[in-house]
Structure 1
């Protein structure tokens, strides 16, 4: 290849629409993080933006999140940046996926077993699937076009040689007739890089922190394809996560609050880890209210002190109804799920009529939608609350 190298931005796991901790501020953060990636792709003149799955956090994102996402891809298109993508596990639907909508709008090209060639680089893709169906020998790829100097496979899943892997990437090297140059991966939220039979394999990581243990700076990978393959890591600015270690000596709530004053919590997501030998009670709601009053966007308190098995722990809630509503918001329920929750908690519905009311509500959704998203074999899909990979 001669001339300027083909420059590819590799991103994924953007989880747009994730209302983390039940916070609308956090929901907007996930969209803004992807917007920063798009800004970089345009400002720095990349040829291709590869999205390795989990564009959205759920199969049923809010309409305003979809609308703003479409506008971001429209900006890429207007700037001449080719956008290509695979589908992740969080957004996968039984029929048409959101990537198909973006493709119908002429803004994204969905990858598959046929090559999509951009500036001499051939891109293939495999959407997320269960490990039992990720047999590389059964996935046939069309031959690489003669005008392609490099071949890239984009996948969403957990792969070996990374220690958390379920499926070996070695199988794609050994069983495919395509001579791969790079594997661009999504699903694992921490950036990782390795080699598989001489092929560069990399996870781009998530663009926002989907859990507090994602401590590395968020960002994306950059590839350059010319006579060889070059890869770099670029960071983006995201909201601060602050962890306060409150190792109590004698005090309870007041001592925890005093420990939090040692840290700047303004505009941050704050987690307080309570430890130590003191058995004084800690009212979590008071600590959280104090943090929110100092400008924290989200405040959470985890009491990690060892408790005597015979000890009775008193739990205090500032507002039980508010706590329940917040927990329901975090569960990312489908519309049908929210309807069921509303019926169960409706004080005007007689307890003897709950089952009948729920049945009528679900039948209404099924009649309207034919096949309700988030329902598998007639059973509500389990929500993903902790690990969103």
Structure 2
């Protein structure tokens, strides 16, 4: 029997909520995974991408990562990994550096043999380049009884998917028994074309929307079966979620009363307010939580409160309408309008906005370098200038590239509870070829 620990989306270096303590939390969560691997004496640790939150991690983040990887090396446990969208660079990858140090193996089209399991890798590939991707892998070694693929992206049949998993499995030159994935921060497993497809989830909460416990997968390969089990991390930072549904005559006193019901010591506190109650000042609630020992406190007021001044309510109660009017005056290109739509899409998790926009801009430019040129012939009152508010009013659903999270690559920031990721603008990508092989992404 071969046993591997499947993890991913560790997002090392992420200073969530601008808190140095949260940055350290992400490193400690990764350390806990490695310590579990050593204690269980697994045959390998497989990382499915987004080891780092940013393609330019600090020296401190790199030092911490090297220290943890040395723990695995000292225990003779190989660390096998692919490159995720958060950390991916145009030239050499950080995984290549760790490989040069003897601390990691970057997976690719040639298999890495772990006992009787052949492990292949596929780095994150931008959506605009996948149609030309040829799933060509080296043959499975005779000594292998199983073959598994490790990759990073939003794969079907899971939520927010934009990657055709059936095409991957049917066109691949290798018949895989399992596909071990990263990018979606929510753990999940499905069977597709007699192949197990599984997400391990993230090791820390990169967004306030990630309420489930964090953890990783343990995958066991036996002669005639594959077993995938979920293991939780018990030492991650506690998140306290306080949900308040205010009655019409209730206000900040009721919110603070609910907050006082919880032990907030050293916790990240997320207060979500719904209902019909009176307006509140978020800072008042956040300060009260901090005074009671919370590390971080955020208030997310989801109510649409009326403005007492009718004239002001017209201008500010519907910000999308104001933005829509301004957008019509700008003469923006269709590509720019699409990005505007994505940014203000209510269905897109706040933590994924930056990553989704980054991916979409990259895809658009790869298809047409002039896509963002102004549209001088567009008139301010053109009916084809629409925003998210227009589409919601018409009952139309808006589709985006988003995941769950990754910036993924989950991450956190928002107007209210979540906090947007701090990833930098994407490095340029090469234009798509007529025919693309896996070697182009190695």
Instruction: Give the TM-score normalised by the residue count of structure 2.
Output: 0.68
Asked if residue 229 in structure 1 is aligned to residue 226 in structure 2, the reply is yes
Could you tell me which residue of structure 2 aligns to residue 79 of structure 1? 75
CA distance, structure 2, for counterparts of residue 143 and residue 18 of structure 1: 38
Aligned ranges for residues 31-70 of structure 1 at < 5 Å?
31-70=27-66
- Specify every segment of 5 or more residues in structure 1 that has no aligned partner in the other structure, as ranges: 315-330, 333-372, 379-389
1:253, distance to aligned residue in structure 2 (A): 3.3
C-alpha contact 1:8 1:47 (8 A) present in aligned 2: yes
CA distance, structure 1, for counterparts of residue 84 and residue 61 of structure 2: 17
| Residues 1:79 and 1:120: Cα distance change in structure 2 (over 3 Å) | same
| Residues 1:54 and 1:278: Cα distance change in structure 2 (over 3 Å) | same
Q: Aligned with 1:167: secondary structure?
A: coil
CA distance, structure 2, for counterparts of residue 223 and residue 10 of structure 1: 7
Range 84-93 or range 285-294, more displaced = 285-294
Asked if residue 120 in structure 1 is aligned to residue 119 in structure 2, the reply is no
Asked if residue 139 in structure 1 is aligned to residue 135 in structure 2, the reply is yes
CA distance, structure 2, for counterparts of residue 156 and residue 88 of structure 1: 6
Instruction: Give the TM-score normalised by the residue count of structure 1.
Output: 0.77
Could you tell me which residue of structure 1 aligns to residue 275 of structure 2? 276
Q: May I ask how many residue pairs the two structures share in their alignment?
A: 317
CA distance, structure 2, for counterparts of residue 375 and residue 40 of structure 1: 34
C-alpha contact 2:264 2:294 (8 A) present in aligned 1: yes
Aligned ranges for residues 51-200 of structure 1 at < 5 Å?
51-135=47-131, 138-200=134-196
Deviations 1:112-143 (A, max 9, x none): 10111121211111100112323486131011
Match of 2:295 among 290, 294, 297: 297
Q: Aligned with 2:204: secondary structure?
A: coil
Match of 2:13 among 11, 14, 17: 17
| Residues 1:6 and 1:135: Cα distance change in structure 2 (over 3 Å) | farther
CA distance, structure 1, for counterparts of residue 138 and residue 41 of structure 2: 30
C-alpha contact 1:136 1:171 (8 A) present in aligned 2: no
Give the superposed CA RMSD. 2.2
1:216, distance to aligned residue in structure 2 (A): 1.6
Q: Aligned with 2:209: secondary structure?
A: coil
1:15, distance to aligned residue in structure 2 (A): 0.5
